Structures are given as structure tokens and as C-alpha cells.
Amino acid sequence: MRIHSLSRILSLPIALSILTVLYVSYELEYQNAMIWILFPLVIATAVVIFQGQIDFWWNERNPVPLDPPISDWLKKYDPYYTSLDPNQRQNYDNRLVMYMQGRAFVSVGREHHDVPNDIQAIIASNAVKMLMSKKDYLLGDMDRIYLYKHPFPTPRHQFLHTVETDIEDGVFIFSLEHLVPGMINPKEHYNIAMHGFAEAFQRVFPKEDFTYLDQITWDQIEEVGYHSKDKILKTIGFNQTDTTTVAINHFFTHPRRFNLMIPAAYERLIRQFGADQLSKL
């Protein structure tokens, strides 16, 4: 039997210890025994506080296999995934599972609901691909992903939009209506998930130098990514956006065309992201 939650396993002997102390104190009337309850209580408190970190540490060393339907979906829709050799794919699968376990996914509506694993995987695959060369594959403190069914307003941006990256609060917000098509058919739809992760990457890793992408024009971006500037802005719901973010997005979603149109920047991005696998697509 595989242990999925080490914190729950640790909680059992702690709970038994507390019950034993209570039994000794009240049933056997050993009043001094109550002092011994402090030790398991302190340990129990630590386990509760650090439950997420404990389980993450355990599962990182004892990875859970990726669900076959998710792997099948990636093979069907993500050429990057199909290009990985067995060792690379195992590493990718492990990181994908750990990202899904290490981040909170919430479906937002009148009530908050759990997000199905396949949708979690679709979103997480963008981050895993972008962070394959990084030890911090969870992208810093960006630990919550909120999903609306449709475009949404927020207190920070009080108009309808489809993607928002809030570094200060560690939050991604996406419109599910726009997210899934961008993953399934990036030629027809702009990938808002990769857009959000590209925004966060630049902020989480400020020492990464992308100034060479400042020379890329919107005309070049439009040639690479099939989408006009107007279409991209209409998709994300903003009047403007950073061309560097869009360029990084297109590097991952349209690598072959990026290499053809902007080869110098492509080679630098390959080295910067450690994304040699993209050159095989």
C-alpha cells in the first residue's frame, strides 16, 4: 500500500499518545501525567501547521504516478510531451503531479468548487514546461489558481478580462472558457494560461534577462503566433500587454515558427529556459 499523506500517518500515533495521557490522567487518576500531554500536543500542532510541506516532501521522494487519461491527453494535444524520452517524461510527470498537489485550484462561481484533475493538469502543464530547468518548479509563492467559467472583473481590474497574475497575493485567475481552447488549438486561440505563467516567471525570477526581446515588434509577434495584436488584446481583455510576455508565450506554443521568424531570440530562449526539447518539434 502506498502512503499518499505522511502527515496523516504521523497524526495517528500522536492522537493515540494524547488519548493515552488523558486516560492515565482521568481514569487512573495520575494527575501528574497531564504534563506529558504537552509533548504530543506540540508535535500535533507542528504537523497541522506544516501538513502541506510534510506531504510535499514525502511525495516528492515517493512520486505518485500520473493518471493515464491525463498522459493520454498530453500525448494527443501537446507535441512537447510526445517528444520527451522516457526519463524526461518521467521527470515531467513527477513535476506535473507535484505541481497539482502543491497548488490550490479553485473553481469560482456562486460557490467555490473543486477543479477536476484533468483541468488542473491542463493548466499545470504550462508551468511544468516553462520551469523544466528550474529547481523551483512551483514558481515561487504563486500557490493559488482561481478559475471562472467566463471573463471576470476583479477589484484590481474592474472590467471583464480572462487572465490576471497577482504576484503580491500569489494568485493566478483564468477564464476557463478561454483557457482550454488555447491549449487544444493554439493556432486558433491565444494561450492565456501560458501568458499568465510568462508574466509570473519574469517577476519570480527578476535576474532573468529578457531585454533582448524588447527588439521584437508586434509585426514579428503576429507572424510567429497566428494572432493579431488586436485579437490577443481582445482575448485577454486588456488594452495593452507586455510584448515580452507574448513573445515567451509564443516561444513555447509556436516554437517552430518562432525559430523560423526570429532565430536569434529563439536560440537565446532555448538556452535561457533549458528548453532543448523544443528544437525537436
How does pLDDT run across 115-159, given as a tens digit for each residue?
999 999 999 999 999 999 898 889 999 999 999 999 999 999 999
- Quick check: 171 pLDDT over 60? yes
17-28 pLDDT, tens per residue?
666 656 666 655
Task: Note whether residue 117 is domain-resident.
Answer: yes
67 with 123, same domain: the answer is yes
pLDDT of residue 52: 57
192 with 210, same domain: the answer is yes
pLDDT of residue 61: 65
Residues listed for the chain: 281
* Average pLDDT of the segment spanning 210-239: 96
264 with 248, same domain: the answer is yes
Q: How far is CA 122 from the centre of its chain?
A: 10
Q: What angle do CA 99, 186, 79 make, to 5 degrees?
A: 65
For all residues of the chain together, what is the average pLDDT? Answer: 86
117 with 14, same domain: the answer is no
pLDDT of residue 208: 95
Q: How far apart are CA 56 and CA 79, in angstroms?
A: 29
88 with 141, same domain: the answer is yes
**Rg, C-alpha atoms of the chain:** 23
Question: pTM of the full predicted structure?
Answer: 0.81
80 with 192, same domain: the answer is yes
Domain interval for residue 237: 63-280
Q: How far is CA 279 from the centre of its chain?
A: 23
The count of structural domains within the chain is: 2
Identify the band that residue 275 occupies on the pLDDT scale cut at 50, 70 and 90: confident
Task: Note whether residue 26 is domain-resident.
Answer: yes
27 with 148, same domain: the answer is no
35 with 125, same domain: the answer is no
Task: Note whether residue 1 is domain-resident.
Answer: no
45 with 73, same domain: the answer is no
Identify the band that residue 102 occupies on the pLDDT scale cut at 50, 70 and 90: confident
Identify the band that residue 40 occupies on the pLDDT scale cut at 50, 70 and 90: low
